[in-house]
Amino acid sequence: MIKMTMSAKSKAYLVGGGIGSLAAAAFMIRDGNLPGGNISILEATPIMGGSLDGAGDPAGGYSLRGGRMLTTDNYECTWDLYKSIPSLNNKGKTVFDETVEFNEKHKAHSMARLVDSRRAKVPVTSMGFSMQDRIELLKLTNADEEKMGASCITDWLSPQFFETEFWYMWVTTFAFQPWHSAVELKRYLHRFMLEFSRIDTLGGVKRTIYNQYDSLVLPLQTWLEAQGVRLVTDCTVTDLNHKTADGTFVVTGIHCQRQGKNEVIAVNDGDLVFMQNGSMTDASSLGSMTSAPRKLTKVDSGGWTLWEKLAKDRPEFGNPAAFNSCIAQSCWESFTVTLKHPAFFDKMHQFSGNEPGTGGLVTFKDSNWLMSIVLAHQPHFRNQPDGVQVFWGYSLFPDRVGNFVPKPMAECTGAEILQELCGHLRFDLETVASTNCIPCRMPYITSMFMPRMVSDRPPPVLRGSKNFGFISQFVEIQDDVVFTVEYSVRAAQMAVYELLGIERKVPPVTPHDKSFRVQCEALIKAFT
């Protein structure tokens, strides 16, 4: 690492307004003593938060692209951050405090994790493993990552493994596909070994009070604004000026488009630049009750362009093509349902045995789309009035023809998705009368799971970098897992601490997989 010379005039520019950039700004203020007024976050869209979004109203319907799993047993960097961020709901408490208290009151214990084609709850106390399944899974868990290379999950597990109860529960919790990276699955098996023995109830899953935009992004953004951080929206960064001399890489300028004008921000000596490379929600599109989402690609939004420019002929900057070259393998579709009548929630409570917020994903394992839904504690939005309920769902196979609707999910309107859902539940369509279902197509939502080599992802700070760091789901962090809030926050903390020379240690990954108790519980579960 090149030692940075910081001063009271030093400025920091963060490209992208996702949770990683917001966290990086907070770490610079809290641990690096950089004045908030010296920090600018440049975001292309009208709102901060990146993939942690949540928007809408009762009239037009609410929308969530996705929901990220949280735990308090892991997520070391995330909770290290949120122990410092004041709650917007409870004066005198932090976001961490209120989250812990909320989950003490609303403990998760799913009683309808898998549902079959007869609408019967599938027994899930057993993982459904054969001895061959156990041997293959153990072999994968103990494999050397370097030797695994860019292999797929199907290279390690036999076809019958993908029909086990474990597979249906694990992949719908974490959104894996059989053709995804075997290395990433291995990392998940280690990082979440504590969850292995309770995957049938999702007992280790924690939730925020509201959706993750209202509960995580908004309080952090509010705190940053109070510190003077400059949040610049509708600002697209198109290129970076940079130079390399004597093995030292330095960013010297930022090209951006704002309000129809091209600007160049000078990056002076002592300034810092952090960039969110890649985007798992790039080219997302929303549908409606009467229309399916448009089929967009990276050409339509340009979320990958800057990384592709930087990485051209520079292998040390990673290989974005490993992640964004096959939409068919990284795409799935979610939907958010807004109801103005309690019938659906009442019938789900009666069917599942779970009150909203106490269950988890309900997965229809025989669904052609592999559809799952989750009913969170209500209200799910800060501005959600009494008498309105919201739930979220998704399907991993939107290109397949439905069981009750004769077309692929990707071509379905919100009304048709509700028809498919009610078909699986054997609910009358009147149960979802006066309902707004907003589908969302996300072509790159699991792009970070694509098979890749270690060299395809750059580290948070490149060797020889003087003032530039990466923050995203597409950096290389040993032992941690992508598609989590934790990965973005950890990348931010690592990049900030290294470039600012902060002596405080980044919280290490908790080695639950090394715990004898956890190993025994996992072993017992595997043989139950």
Task: Report d(CA 318, CA 302) in Å as an integer.
Answer: 18
Query: In Å, how far are 314, 391, 496, 519, 527 from 466, measured between CA atoms?
Result: 17, 46, 12, 42, 52
Choosing among 1.10.1740.10, 3.10.180.10, 3.50.50.60, 3.40.190.100, the CATH entry for 12-61+68-94+210-323+451-500 is 3.50.50.60
Q: β-pairing, 435-442 with 332-339?
A: antiparallel
Residue 258 binned pLDDT confidence (cut-offs 50, 70, 90): very high
Task: Report d(CA 397, CA 328) in Å as an integer.
Answer: 10
211-216 average pLDDT score: 96
Residue 4 binned pLDDT confidence (cut-offs 50, 70, 90): low
Residue 6 binned pLDDT confidence (cut-offs 50, 70, 90): low
- Check residue 390 and give its pLDDT: 98
Name the residue with tokens 């007024």: 37
Which helix (H) or strand (E) element contains residue 176?
none
Tell which residue, 454, 468, 460, 456, has the closest CA to residue 492.
Answer: 460
Task: Report d(CA 491, CA 431) in Å as an integer.
Answer: 44
Query: In Å, how far are 25, 183, 276 from 22, measured between CA atoms?
Result: 5, 29, 11
Beta partners for 94? Answer: 86
- Check residue 246 and give its pLDDT: 86
Per-residue pLDDT of 219-231, as tens digits, reads 999 999 999 999 9
- Check residue 524 and give its pLDDT: 95
Q: Is the pLDDT higher at 524 or at 3?
A: 524
Residue 260 binned pLDDT confidence (cut-offs 50, 70, 90): confident
Tell which residue, 41, 46, 33, has the closest CA to residue 6.
Answer: 33
Are 210 and 379 contacting, i.e. CB atoms less than 8 angstroms apart? yes
SS (HEC) of 342-381: CHHHHHHHHHHCCCCCCCCCEEECCCCCCEEEECCCCCCC
- Check residue 245 and give its pLDDT: 86
476-490 average pLDDT score: 96
| pLDDT above 90 (res 17) | yes
Tell which residue, 73, 68, 72, has the closest CA to residue 511.
Answer: 73
CA dihedral 149, 152, 155, 161 (to 10 degrees): 140
Beta partners for 87? Answer: none
Task: Report d(CA 110, CA 414) in Å as an integer.
Answer: 26
Domain definitions of the chain by residue range: 12-61+68-94+210-323+451-500
Residue 321 binned pLDDT confidence (cut-offs 50, 70, 90): very high
- Check residue 265 and give its pLDDT: 97
**The pair of three-digit structure tokens given for residue 400, joined into one six-digit string:** 């397949």
For 170-203, b where at least 16 C-beta lie within 10 A, e where not — what string?
A: bbbbbbbbebbbbbbbbbbbbbbbbbbbbbbbbe
254-265 average pLDDT score: 94
Task: Report d(CA 422, CA 521) in Å as an integer.
Answer: 37
Tell which residue, 397, 277, 395, has the closest CA to residue 329.
Answer: 397
Per-residue pLDDT of 385-414, as tens digits, reads 999 999 999 999 999 999 999 999 999 999
- Check residue 57 and give its pLDDT: 95
Tell which residue, 11, 61, 7, has the closest CA to residue 36.
Answer: 11
Amino acid at 490: R
Q: Which long-range contacts (CB under 8 A, 24 or more apart) does 158-161 make?
A: 158/132, 158/133, 160/130, 160/132, 160/133, 161/133, 161/136, 161/137
Query: 3-class SS at 479?
Result: coil
Length of the chain: 528
Residue 5 binned pLDDT confidence (cut-offs 50, 70, 90): low
**The pair of three-digit structure tokens given for residue 78, joined into one six-digit string:** 């995330």
Query: In Å, how far are 53, 194, 323 from 519, measured between CA atoms?
Result: 36, 8, 33
| pLDDT above 80 (res 1) | no
Mean pLDDT of all residues belonging to the chain = 95
Other beta carbons less than 10 A from residue 149's beta carbon: 15
Residue 300 binned pLDDT confidence (cut-offs 50, 70, 90): very high
Are 211 and 64 contacting, i.e. CB atoms less than 8 angstroms apart? yes
| pLDDT above 60 (res 2) | no
Query: 3-class SS at 139?
Result: helix
State the pTM of this model. Answer: 0.96
Name the residue with tokens 């156990």: 134
Task: Report d(CA 134, CA 114) in Å as an integer.
Answer: 21
User: Given its phi and psi angles, is residue 157 left (phi above 0), alpha (psi -120 to 50 degrees) or beta?
Assistant: beta
Per-residue pLDDT of 347-382, as tens digits, reads 999 999 999 999 989 999 999 999 999 999 999 999
Per-residue pLDDT of 71-125, as tens digits, reads 889 999 999 999 999 999 999 999 999 999 999 999 999 999 999 999 999 999 9
272-276 average pLDDT score: 98
Amino acid at 179: W
Calculate helix-pair angle for 516-527, 131-141, nearest 10 degrees.
150
Q: Is 315 exposed, middle or buried (0-12, 13-18, 19+ CB in 10 A)?
A: exposed
Task: Report d(CA 487, CA 510) in Å as an integer.
Answer: 14
Are 155 and 200 contacting, i.e. CB atoms less than 8 angstroms apart? no
Task: Report d(CA 521, CA 165) in Å as an integer.
Answer: 18
Distance from the first to the final alpha carbon of the chain = 50
Residue 69 binned pLDDT confidence (cut-offs 50, 70, 90): confident
